[in-house]
């Protein structure tokens, strides 16, 4: 074996370090950029409150409905169906001989909402005259636990449903009534109701 | 074992990464999820399901209902509709303006522009937030997409991923208990083309005693048992029906807003 052959065998040719084409790096960077933009647009930054189609909390904020009369009626309807409807009925007709109707009731439709506002707040024990009939039963202060906004919404709902078309009740009205009647005992029937200063 | 450490580290990193993605990530995102309030209201959502419904979830699970039914509503997008609430002091001008404008299928900025124009003319408007999508356009299926809160009290959550039968997210709004029980006993008695198998083992056939049971199902001819017998639901069937009736994700939330004005009266088909 010649020296040359032996040397070639023992020292293999120097190997080039492996290379990757430049376009791979460019593509990776481009994909990272596209991914970043997509993430920025759609992730909502992993906020547990933000889902598609909103993308970001700012966009979600944009689509929060403002509270107008229509949504107030819907809010009132929600509270009415869970609290009031058991006795006064989904149709506002009450139960014959037990609970007076709200539909068409002169107390509900009155120009001033003061009276109908006080009943759910304080409760009513005793006789009340509604639509030509005397109703002698007792109502707990069912509305006392509601927020100002919810009670106002319920009152607005009953004053504007089933053919009633009386004025709207605002949160501030309920708040004022609550402040004025704080600590007042349950109302003793129609006489007690009329005894409260308007 | 020269490579032992390398194998261990490799396995550790692989499992650690999936733990980060499948456990830590979701817990950080939704682990503190609690009750919230209904939009523009002080009502709490969601309330704990009634006791029978909580038991009913386990019946739902045991019978594999989630194999054919989903409880998740998808939403493709959201649009705004502008509604005229008052025409103001110059109604003819406002009405003319309104007739010349597009009032539906708007984005929020477009809706703001339109209501700005109308209020400049003296009218009053209200912007309705309307979710849209294939699921939502099906009557009674839902008003908005499902959100994490809807499943707060469920363990395990029965999302389902195949819709052989309809989605059940709002089935409590669509039907009443009588319907649910009759449908579980004999699906075809309530919907002719139903491919759902009857779950008769959730019911008992018994001889009518001195007085008929108040629970007995009222079944149409062809499904009713022989004369002198009655079909009564077991506790499991009642619990399952209670769970189905408790499925109603119909309130607007901060993370799934919609204008409550469009909310339905609550189940047109209910009986």
Chain A, nearest residue to B258 by Cα: A65
For position B263, what pLDDT does the model report? 44
Among B181, B268, B271, B270, residue whose Cα is nearest residue B231: B181
- B109 or B56: whose pLDDT is higher? B56
Which residue of chain B comes nearest to A83, CA vs CA? B43
**What's this model's pTM, rounded to 2 decimal places?**
0.70
Strand, coil or helix: A135:
strand
CATH architecture, domain B54-72+139-262: Orthogonal Bundle (1.10)
Q: Which residue of B has its CA nearest to A70?
A: B261
Q: Which pairing describes strands B77-86 and B44-45: parallel, antiparallel, or unpaired? A: unpaired
Q: Check whether B173 has a pLDDT greater than 80.
A: yes
Q: Hey, are the CB atoms on B126 and A68 less than 8 Å from each other? A: yes
Does the pLDDT of residue B199 top 50, yes or no?
yes
- Looking at residue B266, its pLDDT comes to 36
In the structure, what pLDDT confidence band is assigned to residue B158 with cuts at 50, 70 and 90?
very high
Arch. (CATH architecture) of A69-195: Orthogonal Bundle (1.10)
A165 Ramachandran zone, left/alpha/beta (phi>0; psi -120 to 50): beta
Residues A88, A98: Cα–Cα separation, whole Å: 9
**Cβ-Cβ contacts under 8 Å, A74 against chain B:** 259-261, 263
Band the pLDDT of B99: cuts 50, 70, 90. Answer: confident
Percent of chain A with pLDDT over 90: 9
Does B28 contact A62 at a Cβ distance shorter than 8 Å? Answer: no
Look-up: residue for tokens 């200063």?
Answer: A197
- What's the confidence (pLDDT) of residue A198? 63
Q: Do B257 and A65 touch (CB under 8 A)?
A: yes
- In this predicted model, what pLDDT tens digit does every residue of B45-82 receive, in sequence order? 998 999 999 999 999 999 999 999 999 999 999 999 88
- Residue at token pair 């107030």: A72
**What residues of chain A lie within 8 A of the CB of B29, using their CB?**
46, 48
ipTM summary value: 0.77
Give the confidence band of B261 by pLDDT, cuts at 50, 70, 90. Answer: low
Query: What pLDDT is recorded for position B125?
Result: 84
Q: Which residue has the tokens 């450490």?
A: B5
Domain boundaries, given as residue ranges, for chain A: 19-62, 69-195
A107-143 CB burial, b ≥16 within 10 A, e <16? bbbeeebbbbbbbbbbbbbbebebeeeebebebeebb
Residues in chain B closer than 8 A to A92 (CB atoms): none
Determine whether B74 is exposed, middle or buried from the number of CB atoms within 10 Å of its CB (0-12, 13-18, 19+).
middle
Q: Among A113-127, A148-162, B167-181, B212-226, which stretch is predicted with the lowest mean pLDDT?
A: A113-127
Chain A residue closest to B75 (CA)?
A: A53
For residue B17, give both structure tokens: 């990464």
pLDDT less than 50: residues of chain A: none
* Residue B135 pLDDT: 92
Residue linked to tokens 């909402």: A113
Q: Do B255 and A51 touch (CB under 8 A)?
A: yes
In this complex, the residue of A49, A69, A78 whose CB is nearest that of residue B43 is A78
B109-129 per-residue burial string, b: 16 or more CB within 10 A, e: under 16: eebeebbebbeeeebbbbbbb
């Amino acid at each position: 074996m010649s020296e040359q052959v032996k040397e070639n065998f023992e020292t293999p040719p120097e190997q080039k370090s492996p290379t990757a084409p430049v376009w791979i790096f460019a593509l990776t960077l481009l994909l990272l950029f596209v991914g970043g933009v997509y993430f920025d647009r759609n992730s909502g930054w992993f906020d547990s409150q933000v889902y598609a189609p909103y993308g970001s909390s700012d966009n979600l904020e944009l689509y929060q409905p403002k509270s107008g009369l229509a949504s107030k009626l819907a809010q009132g309807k929600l509270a009415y169906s869970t609290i009031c409807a058991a006795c006064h009925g989904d149709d506002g007709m009450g139960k014959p001989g037990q609970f007076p109707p709200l539909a068409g009731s002169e107390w509900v439709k009155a120009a001033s909402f003061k009276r109908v506002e006080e009943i759910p707040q304080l409760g009513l024990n005793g006789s009340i005259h509604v639509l030509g009939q005397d109703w002698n039963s007792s109502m707990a202060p069912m509305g006392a636990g509601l927020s100002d906004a919810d009670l106002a919404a319920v009152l607005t709902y009953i004053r504007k449903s089933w053919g009633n078309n009386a004025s709207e009740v605002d949160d501030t009205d309920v708040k004022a009534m609550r402040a004025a009647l704080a600590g007042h005992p349950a109302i003793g029937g129609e006489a007690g109701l009329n005894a409260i200063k308007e | 074992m020269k490579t032992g450490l390398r194998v261990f580290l490799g396995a550790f990193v692989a499992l650690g990464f999936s733990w980060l993605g499948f456990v830590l990530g979701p817990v950080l995102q939704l682990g503190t999820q609690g009750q919230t309030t209904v939009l523009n209201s002080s009502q709490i959502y969601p309330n704990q399901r009634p006791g029978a419904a909580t038991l009913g979830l386990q019946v739902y699970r045991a019978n594999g209902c989630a194999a054919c039914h989903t409880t998740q509503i998808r939403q493709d997008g959201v649009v705004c509709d502008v509604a005229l609430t008052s025409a103001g002091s110059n109604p003819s001008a406002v009405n003319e303006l309104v007739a010349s404008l597009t009032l539906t299928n708007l984005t929020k900025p477009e809706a703001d522009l339109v209501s700005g124009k109308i209020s400049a003319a003296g009218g009053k408007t209200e912007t309705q937030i309307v979710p849209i999508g294939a699921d939502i356009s099906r009557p009674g299926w839902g008003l908005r997409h499902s959100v994490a809160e809807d499943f707060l009290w469920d363990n395990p959550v029965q999302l389902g991923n195949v819709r052989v039968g309809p989605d059940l997210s709002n089935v409590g709004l669509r039907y009443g208990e009588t319907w649910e029980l009759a449908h579980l006993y004999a699906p075809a008695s309530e919907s002719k083309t139903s491919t759902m198998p009857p779950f008769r083992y959730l019911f008992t056939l018994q001889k009518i005693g001195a007085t008929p049971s108040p629970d007995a199902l009222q079944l149409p001819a062809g499904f009713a048992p022989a004369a002198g017998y009655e079909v009564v639901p077991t506790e499991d069937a009642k619990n399952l029906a209670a769970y189905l009736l408790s499925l109603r994700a119909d309130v607007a939330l901060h993370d799934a807003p919609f204008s409550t004005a469009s909310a339905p009266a609550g189940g047109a088909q209910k009986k």
